[in-house]
Amino acid sequence: MKRLKVVLGLIVLSLMMIMPAMAADYDLVINNGRVMDPETKYDAVANVGIKNGKIAVITNKTISGKETIDAKGLVVAPGFIDGHQHCIEPYQYRLMLRDGRTTLLDTEIGAHGPKLDEWYKRREGKAPVNFGVAVAHEFARAEVLDGFTDWKHLYTPDAEKTRSTRVMIDGKETIKEGWSKTRPNLEQGNQILSLLDEGLAQGGLGIGTTVGYMRAGVSAREIFELQKLGGLYDRFIAMHFRYTPGDDTTEVNGIQEMLANAAALGTPAIASHFNNPGYNMVHELMVRMRERGYNVWGEIYPYAAGSTALNAVFLEPEMWVKTLGNKYEDTVQDVATGEFYTQKSREEMIKKEPARLVLVYKNPESAVVDWLKMPGVAIGSDGMPMIPSDNLTWDTPFEDLPNTHPRTSGSFGAVLRLSRENNIPLMQAVSMTSYNYAKPLGEMGLKSMQVRGRMQEGMVADITIFDPDTVRDNSTYANGRLPSSGILHVLVNGVIVMKDQEPLKGVNPGQPIRFEPVESKFKPLTKEGWTQTFYASPVDFGGGIPCCDFH
């Protein structure tokens, strides 16, 4: 009996010694939350153990770790991925975290090709969220066609210069618009492609183009060559496509250009913010193409109004009023003052501040719910920098931030609120906020997105935890800088960056989302390869007869 007591004592002692080791098995544990995985459709109350930045276990068994979050009554979802964010800057990080975003990507405009590596280095170790960028078609055209070489504005949150190129002539800053209105010749076209190629070789996510702002200056051949160049690297083109905004015919025609090229070349493509007239047709086109194996997808932001610069080409009277039948007094509103423009006041403001931010009302509110019901669609906020922005920092109070479009602050909270209010399944909303961007980027070969956007063992622990009954956006057109509420905790790469709705200053686990640098793949095109061509027969693609210049 005495011997048995000794043995039992040793067993108890051994267990006591093992228990602390077991408790330390996980760096962080999230207990009792409703875990939702859009890829497998897993939806159950479970405990999540995180170790070394990854999800180590999802179980209904009791687990413990160095730190614990009680998620009872909360949803534990993949971290929200914003694939269309133009302001990846410290003064907006708190708003991003309050809206549950763990990854910010600028896929539509992007960074200047030769400066892409600098763009990433500027943010490494300084961001609480993951960050990534495409290579900018717009900026390449600005350098080649306008002689613009001062890229300092890429390193400050000054968006005014993205809609018109400023160059120094005789010591005076002068606005030039060659980037949007000039068709390049063969030499210039090769220069543009070469600049884009530099960014792709440095690891850019793909090519971003705002051809909708430069309709007259970009031929169908140029767009085709952009997509062909991206295809050399197996990377996407993200397009603010031609004729946007337009009507339900021109909008569809604009995206058909991109999709036809994608089909011919077998290359990935993103329809940037296709929440415009004709959206049902656009969505059907992409769904049918995906069924046939093409990696094409699209994004929306959940607002009836968009935002752009006052001097946008599509806001010219010939287009906005005569062609589309709009009235400035009903549709174009100053972001800062809330006043609606007339044709005269618009002309006067353009002389003083051509790129002044405005809200553009172009859809009925009822359309937003339709967008949220479409399967396979991702969320891209199209969040804009705040102007003026020179003195804005992490610590700037929300109420002191300049006004902006509410999508900047509330896109993801709005998706969850509207889904709740309109009986859209929560799994659909969670998929739109995370998996629907991660999946196609991962299929493109982007390894960092193959392990995000999912709540599965082995995946990176980018996690957003929210209350499904109270989560909501608070930002409005009148006050676009109000943070979302009901999103309690956010983890990035296994590190808590927001706890109890309080973003943590100085906690910066964000990682670059990019490809590894590779050697350049672009070879300058000859006239025969760069121009439109008549072919000897439908199948003889080697005997083309050059017919015209790149024009």
Residue 265 covered by a domain: yes
- The CATH number of whichever domain residue 257 belongs to comes to 3.20.20.140
Q: Is the pLDDT of residue 547 over 70?
A: no
Q: How confident is the model at residue 175 (pLDDT cuts 50, 70, 90)?
A: low
Q: At what angle do helices 186-201 and 137-146 cross, to 10 degrees?
A: 140
Q: CB under 8 Å to 397, separation ≥6 — which residues?
A: none
pLDDT at residue number 172: 52
Residue 32 covered by a domain: no
Tens-place pLDDT, residues 414-423? 999 999 999 9
**Cα(239)–Cα(254) distance, integer angstroms:** 10
Q: Is the pLDDT of residue 218 over 60?
A: yes
Computed over every residue of the chain, the mean pLDDT equals 89
Q: Is the pLDDT of residue 373 over 70?
A: yes
Range of the domain at 451: 78-304+363-458+467-472
Ramachandran angles phi, psi of 119, nearest 5°: -55, -45
Tens-place pLDDT, residues 47-71? 999 999 999 999 999 999 999 999 9
Q: How many CB atoms lie within 10 A of CB 523?
A: 12
Q: Is the dihedral of CA 140, 146, 149, 152 positive or negative?
A: negative
pLDDT at residue number 541: 32
Give yes or no for a contact between 169 and 162, defined as CB atoms under 8 angstroms apart: no
Q: Is the pLDDT of residue 394 over 70?
A: yes
Residue 146 covered by a domain: yes
Q: How confident is the model at residue 327 (pLDDT cuts 50, 70, 90)?
A: very high
Place of tokens 């006067």: 348
Look at the chain and report how many structural domains it folds into: 1
Residue 30 covered by a domain: no
pTM of the model: 0.88
Q: Is the dihedral of CA 136, 141, 146, 149 positive or negative?
A: positive
CA atoms within 13 A on the CB side of 100: 34
pLDDT at residue number 533: 38
Residue 339 covered by a domain: no
Q: Is the pLDDT of residue 22 over 90?
A: no
